[in-house]
Amino acid sequence: MTLPLIGILRGITPAEAVAVGEAVLAAGITTLEVPLNSPEPLTSIRLLAEALGERARVGAGTVLTKAQVRDVHAAGGRLVVSPNCRPAVIAETRCLGMASWPGVVTPSEAFDALDAGASGLKLFPAVQVGLEGMQALRAVLPAGTRLYAVGGIGADNFAAWRAAGVDGAGLGSALYQPGQSAVQVGEQAHALVAAWNAAAAGGNP
């Protein structure tokens, strides 16, 4: 089963992208995001998409405009993640056949995103919204809506977030920080996956 985890490789460089991507994939995380404020992000996305092929879904984060969506698609990306909710960006993403995960905090943003065709919702920053805020939002979302927490979620609080009803998570600095080796990132990825699976015992798989 594909884990509901997005590996965020903010700051990755093209020279290390494939090795780090393979290490993360080996741990069981099959969705990888290269934020567009990383060095040469489109090159890293292209290299990852070519190397990992159908074994992983590779795409971009911090996508803010329709032009950036098209650039990601041209580089071979199949995923667009944003820190905000822009219906035009979502619609462009879906038009090109890619998965769209816009950032939301409020019910208004969440429903605007869903109306525009979002594949799922990125609760960001999750640490600001908190568990109770997430539960209040979850209560009004349509059944089947996928809600991932990003920002302040990790091994130490997976269980609480899962029990509260979140579907998945985006993993940033706990997974990868610039300068870390592929071996180190792989170890961190395995630890995060183990923690997520352990937390699943008290939540939905």
Q: What amino acid positions are annotated as catalytic residues?
A: 33, 122
Cα 106 from Cα 136, distance rounded (Å): 10
Cα 189 from Cα 25, distance rounded (Å): 9
Distances (CA, A) of 76 to 1, 10, 50, 61, 80: 24, 18, 8, 14, 11
Name the phi and psi angles at 191, rounded to 5: -65, -40
- 148 by Cβ neighbours in 10 Å (0-12 / 13-18 / 19+) ranks as buried
Answer yes or no: are the C-beta atoms of 149 and 130 closer than 8 Å.
no
Q: Which residue has the tokens 């943003």?
A: 109
* DSSP-derived secondary structure letter, 40: S
- Three-state SS at 35: strand
Which tokens is 17 given? 């992208």
Name the phi and psi angles at 173, rounded to 5: -65, -25
Handedness of CA 197, 199, 202, 205 (dihedral sign): negative
